Structure 1
Amino acid sequence: METTVAVIGGGSWATALVKLLSENEVVINWWLRSKTDLNHIINYGHNPRYLSGIHLNLKKIKPQQDLREAIEPADIVLLAVPSAFVKDVLDSLPDHALQGKIIVSAIKGMIRHENVLVTDYVNKRFGIAADDLLAIAGPCHAEEVALEKLSYLTICGANIAKAKAFANLISCRYLKATAIEDLAGAEYCAVMKNIIAIACGIAHGLNYGDNFQAVLVANAMQEIRRFLDAVAPIERDLNASAYLGDLLVTTYSQFSRNRTFGSMVGRGYSVKSAQFEMQMVAEGYYAVACIYPIMKKYQVKMPITQAVYNILYEKISPIVEFQILRDLLS
């Protein structure tokens, strides 16, 4: 019997995940908010706005606009909407809507204003047990999945058997997925790496070179370690792909929207003008507003996060802030 997966979201990452799942024996109920995009996919077999070069196998993919109809028959619900819109999408569902299903978060962000991880929100809002919660960690860019370049993912969950099962479900000839048990650590790291990518982008926009960026990323890894040791203290190898690998690909890649956003801010764009020109969500912008109060609560030394917060939310000049930051790095 084929597994049914409901994929929630219509952006580039959701589109890439739909493509990956369609390589295997899976039925995909794909929920999209935009009726225009949904009709285009049904008629032409590709997403008109994101990764439009991907041909979608409509024998396995069922685009839908009714969220409840997409979710009801699903064994697995894969969340792939921007973190800023998670509550807008899911709070329309009744409390029992996700019961008995495995919930997988592919969201590299947190719930705004509540400052909680997506899996924690799902646990509290819908009463989903920890054993039924998974998250997808990188390193992986949607654009390279579209090009069928060899990629790797890490599936994280307290129930390692379920994490391995989903890893097998999403693996294909150009994607290898493995499983780990560190759900909270991997989720927090996925949030943090977007903040660091913005910092690297700002540095690039200010014309700092590769030497500085290498120091910035090395210090960022230490910053992430201090944060995780404070909020989710377990033994973990931060050199693994789910942590260091995801950080590296996000801070260095041409496809990183957070790095692109930071670079624009470093070159003098306002936050609003950078967001408008990109027409895509840079998760790190929202993430730093969630991480900042947690950092303060636990009194963790995080100068890079502090600098990004000051630039984006306190409107301090990137030039001034990075003059301060560079003296704090080693």
Structure 2
Amino acid sequence: MSVITFVCAGQMASALTFPVFENGHEVRLVGSPLDREIINGLRKDNYHITLKRTLHDGIKYYQIEEFEEALEGADLIIGGVSSFGLDWFCDEILPVLPEEVPLLTVTKGMVDREDGTMVPYPYIFEERQPEGKHLNFNAIGGPCTSYELADHDNSHVAFCGKDPKTLKYIRSLMATDYYHISISTDVVGVECAVALKNAYALGVTLAVGLAEKKDGKIGAQHYNSQAALFGQSMKEMGKLLNLVGGKPEHLVHGVGDLYVTVFGGRTRMIGTLLGRGLTFEQAMEDLKGVTLESIVIATRTARAVKKLAERGKVDLKEYPLLMHIDAILNQGAEVDIPWDAFTWDDLD
């Protein structure tokens, strides 16, 4: 039996306790400063108030002030912070983590540099660890919703990191007959692929709102247009993955994640509202208080691509959907899908 300490009690981290606990390991779930109510509820009856699932009896729960106690004897640390908690995690958690214990994070996202380079979060964590410290960073990517993982639906994800031995070790702790894990040392490929899906899921779900607007009925579905936007998303994501130097096979993780995201969640909500005809400001007012990683990723990716275009590295005409999404979010443009820009001639 190993001891696995989870930092942050959000939905995904808490869902990951299912395969870990069921593999016979000791699970310690530590709440962030924002998770106090979650931890208090779990201590009462194991019911997670946002995941809306009952966790296994026998899991140990800790408030953030008890973090050092939860770290004692840990064999693996799993960071469950969202991208909006990245600064807190870097400033407050990384300094106290022991170097000899590997870290696995669920945080998806990337940052664009001044020169247009796109850098995934595991590299940001590595850069922001205390000077002289050498933590063993690893990350999860792929299509896996917290609810369905907790319900034991078959899921295929990728664990990525620099050390193959560590990746094999972490997989041995967490793989089950429903949680299937590929491993890769291509951190950029895996993590950038799954980060990009947030931007393009917003693009695909524009078609949902457009269908509702056209039919005058909430819930109307036009699958041809959704499929066309999905296909264009896959095409542009593949080009971007190649641009950052990721292996093409990791597109499977990003496209799978795109599929999952299109069918539910916050990104679908914002895309649908925009497709119905709301301005970006009106849509954000409707979703006040909802954190939207899709907007951050779309903006950063478009900004990076435009910088690369200025340097002559790419042609903006190869990214018509991304450019239209950026125009909607950051330039006040109305939704007007550039369908003709998606077509091409392949003639011998």
Relative to the length of structure 2, the TM-score reads 0.81
Structure 1 consecutive aligned stretches of length 4 or more whose deviation exceeds 6 Å: 112-115
Task: In structure 1, give the amino acid aligned to 2:26.
Answer: V
Change (3 A) 1:12 1:234: closer
Q: Greater shift after overlay, 107-116 or 214-223?
A: 107-116
Aligned counterpart, 2:153: 149
Q: Greater shift after overlay, 182-191 or 280-289?
A: 280-289
Structure 1 residue runs without a partner (length 5+): none
**Take 2:307 and 2:166, find their aligned partners in 1: how far apart are those partners?**
33
Aligned counterpart, 2:307: 297
In the TM superposition, what are the counterparts of 1:33-72 in structure 2 within 5 Å?
A: 33=33, 34-48=35-49, 50-52=50-52, 54-66=53-65, 68-69=67-68, 70-71=70-71
> Per the alignment, in what secondary structure is the counterpart of residue 178 of structure 1?
strand
**Take 2:330 and 2:66, find their aligned partners in 1: how far apart are those partners?**
34
For the pair shown, the structure with the greater C-alpha radius of gyration is 2
Shift of 1:91: 0.8
Given candidates 232, 252, 257, the residue that maps to 1:219 is 232
Change (3 A) 1:96 1:8: closer
Aligned counterpart, 2:6: 7
Per-residue deviation, residues 253-278 of structure 1 (Å, max 9, x unmatched): 2x3432233112322452422432xx
> Per the alignment, in what secondary structure is the counterpart of residue 66 of structure 1?
helix
In the TM superposition, what are the counterparts of 1:250-261 in structure 2 within 5 Å?
A: 250-251=261-262, 253=263, 255-261=264-270
Task: In structure 1, give the amino acid aligned to 2:204.
Answer: C
Shift of 1:128: 6.2
Aligned counterpart, 1:281: 291
Change (3 A) 1:24 1:303: same
Q: Greater shift after overlay, 112-121 or 167-176?
A: 112-121
Aligned counterpart, 2:206: 202
**Take 1:264 and 1:326, find their aligned partners in 2: how far apart are those partners?**
20
Given candidates 125, 129, 133, the residue that maps to 1:122 is 125
**Take 2:224 and 2:287, find their aligned partners in 1: how far apart are those partners?**
28
Aligned counterpart, 1:307: 324
Shift of 1:284: 1.0
Shift of 1:305: 1.9
> Per the alignment, in what secondary structure is the counterpart of residue 198 of structure 2?
helix
Task: In structure 1, give the amino acid aligned to 2:121.
Answer: V
Q: Does 1:316 align with 2:333?
A: yes
In the TM superposition, what are the counterparts of 1:80-99 in structure 2 within 5 Å?
A: 80-93=80-93, 95=95, 97-99=97-99
Task: In structure 2, give the amino acid aligned to 1:249.
Answer: V
Structure 2 residue runs without a partner (length 5+): 212-220, 344-348
Aligned counterpart, 2:173: 169
Q: 1:110·1:117 contact (CA, 8 Å) conserved in 2?
A: yes
Q: 1:113·1:290 contact (CA, 8 Å) conserved in 2?
A: no
> Per the alignment, in what secondary structure is the counterpart of residue 44 of structure 2?
helix
Per-residue deviation, residues 38-75 of structure 1 (Å, max 9, x unmatched): 11110011111x221x2212413333322742446433
Aligned counterpart, 2:218: none
Provide the identity percentage: 23
Aligned counterpart, 1:327: 340
Shift of 1:174: 2.3
Per-residue deviation, residues 190-209 of structure 1 (Å, max 9, x unmatched): 11011111111122111182
Shift of 1:239: 5.5
**Take 2:87 and 2:206, find their aligned partners in 1: how far apart are those partners?**
30
Task: In structure 1, give the amino acid aligned to 2:125.
Answer: V
> Per the alignment, in what secondary structure is the counterpart of residue 92 of structure 1?
helix
**Take 2:126 and 2:333, find their aligned partners in 1: how far apart are those partners?**
37
Task: In structure 1, give the amino acid aligned to 2:13.
Answer: A
